[in-house]
Structure 1
């Protein structure tokens, strides 16, 4: 589906799978940000950030807020993406218990100083609360999930609006603002939207809509704000309009999805990172996702696009290489991901989307972290 304001064709390298399962959003009403000591701004009767008479304008002058990758002399750039749902659980369905989340976070604290969450709806607040309760040294990039609010045909004509998604997005924005204010010692940045612009994404949204959500979040917090997308969007000239609205670039670079063999994976990742830095020299670039899966199905698009061998030995090698490069160069990298998530992808047990974790879904370690566990 082509969306006006988004990128054009692929221009060479293929990106991550078009079959990546959309995350289900929870239509939960969350309290607004009023009364939480946030920067002043216009609010409506529900406590939402508004500008009477039209869209919120861009902040002028726009002062870039730095992404914090060091704290009290410690390096926070060894980071990971965390999805808490176990077997039999999924977003919008059964959720993990507080004790299951506690177990997860104790595991995470052994390896990573920062995690990335993809949304502000439950169980995100439980995750933040357990980090505080346990006194864990874990910082959080907090996600604000944005779902497409409109549908367009291939000719660029509007074919439908989804007011329930627009309402859910506003609730997500309010929730992210509220949680960032409630957990200031834990939340260090906010990420508004996930893969909303790259051409193959099922979450593709109108650029102007995403920008308005970013501006509303940024107006109500002093934290750095970003949005996450694939390198094959950030490497295009049209990405500059979005880049100027955020404080740092959150870029995905998956060598496995881009047809790389293991021996070429780190070199490709480095070159891709350098390409995005060159495209956006006035913004810091954070690798918000990179990883290596341990299984894939031998049918469908993953069989066609993925050329490298999947497995625990391969994952361990890539994890070691990218972690060493990240620390050596001072580049924040979020490993995708901590745990396998079996709710993702198709029904086949080897479906690649289920097998990116360095821990299995039952929380036993794979070879990549076995020596650290």
Structure 2
């Protein structure tokens, strides 16, 4: 199946974008209009599609900038849904009081309604909608039952015209999310060979295997890769430091992009900029180091030829 024909999506490069800079974080200090404008002007000549994770102040500003500055981006907008049940198997905390879980359910419905509102406000910019991100995988700290996700997808489809998906690690799509497959317009998978202890010479074949495991299982449903990337630093937490570097990121990025262009697979590279707010206070936490650019907007090795003017 050709996802482009099924979803009426033009071919193009895609990237995950979060504009938080040093000292900024969700729920705290947000990037300004001018900071986001600076980012998007950097990205606009090289990526057609960007993915946003949350219906928060950050996304509000991004959409405003794209509209006011007449930038040629198409956006996948997500609702960030939070825990509705406890996940005691999460290594970094998935336990909440019953009162908090009830409150979370209310907040999730507010997120879904805002997603619909933004989709209708920016119909020419937002090309697809996601009902959540990594909320059903076994290790998540914001676990949401599959039936809840199905309910949210139905609400979104009733309220907005854009195609609807749910962004998740490839593993739950194999079986756990099979009932959700019937409801979404396309499947969105995440594939991270380096998190699964793969070396660079195994990486692309592993990503291909992840993709085809899902695409072959559901031949009548388009599959998009909404996250794939390679970190450039690690303190050893989950990723061996010797298995990440700017050189390895460059190899995986080029292999991934070339394959996806050849196969017409829409793939959102993770991610545009490093995000120091993520994870622990440890500066080499791998979660902080997936950007193609550093947090101060300097190109890493993979981007230096394209962005030599920023060196």
TM beyond 0.5: yes
1:267 corresponds to: 205
Distance 1:254 1:321 in 2: 14
Distance 1:318 1:152 in 2: 32
Kept in 2, the 8 Å contact 1:261–1:307? The answer is: no
Q: Give the drift of 1:151.
A: 3.1
1:349 corresponds to: 283
1:289 corresponds to: 227
2:118 corresponds to: 179
User: SS at 2:123's partner residue?
Assistant: coil
2:159 corresponds to: 220
Q: Give the drift of 1:180.
A: 0.8
Question: Any idea what the Cα deviations from partners look like across 1:344-369, whole Å, max 9, x if unmatched?
Answer: 01111111000000000001111111
User: SS at 1:251's partner residue?
Assistant: strand
Kept in 2, the 8 Å contact 1:188–1:224? The answer is: yes
1:4 corresponds to: none
Q: Give the drift of 1:308.
A: 6.2
User: SS at 1:317's partner residue?
Assistant: helix
Distance 1:145 1:122 in 2: 13
Match for residue 148 of structure 1 among 62, 69, 83: 83
Match for residue 209 of structure 1 among 148, 166, 188: 148
1:199 corresponds to: 138
User: SS at 2:196's partner residue?
Assistant: coil
User: SS at 2:37's partner residue?
Assistant: helix
Higher RCO (CA 8 Å, separation ≥ 6 residues):
1
Kept in 1, the 8 Å contact 2:215–2:222? The answer is: yes
Query: Is 2:215 the partner of 1:280?
Result: no
Q: Give the drift of 1:152.
A: 6.6
TM-score by length of 2: 0.91
Distance 2:66 2:139 in 1: 35
1:57 corresponds to: none
Change in Cα spacing, 1:197 to 1:342, as seen in structure 2 (3 Å) is same
Change in Cα spacing, 1:93 to 1:233, as seen in structure 2 (3 Å) is same
Distance 2:176 2:115 in 1: 27
Match for residue 256 of structure 2 among 291, 303, 322: 322
2:53 corresponds to: 118
Query: Is 2:32 the partner of 1:108?
Result: no
Distance 2:215 2:142 in 1: 25
Runs of 4+ in 1 over 6 A off after TM superposition: none
Higher Rg of the two aligned structures: 1
Distance 2:247 2:125 in 1: 33
Change in Cα spacing, 1:308 to 1:247, as seen in structure 2 (3 Å) is farther
Q: Give the drift of 1:159.
A: 7.3
Q: Give the drift of 1:164.
A: 2.1
User: SS at 1:227's partner residue?
Assistant: strand
Q: Give the drift of 1:307.
A: 7.8
Q: Which runs of 5+ in 2 are unaligned?
A: 90-95
Distance 2:75 2:242 in 1: 31
State the number of aligned residues.
296
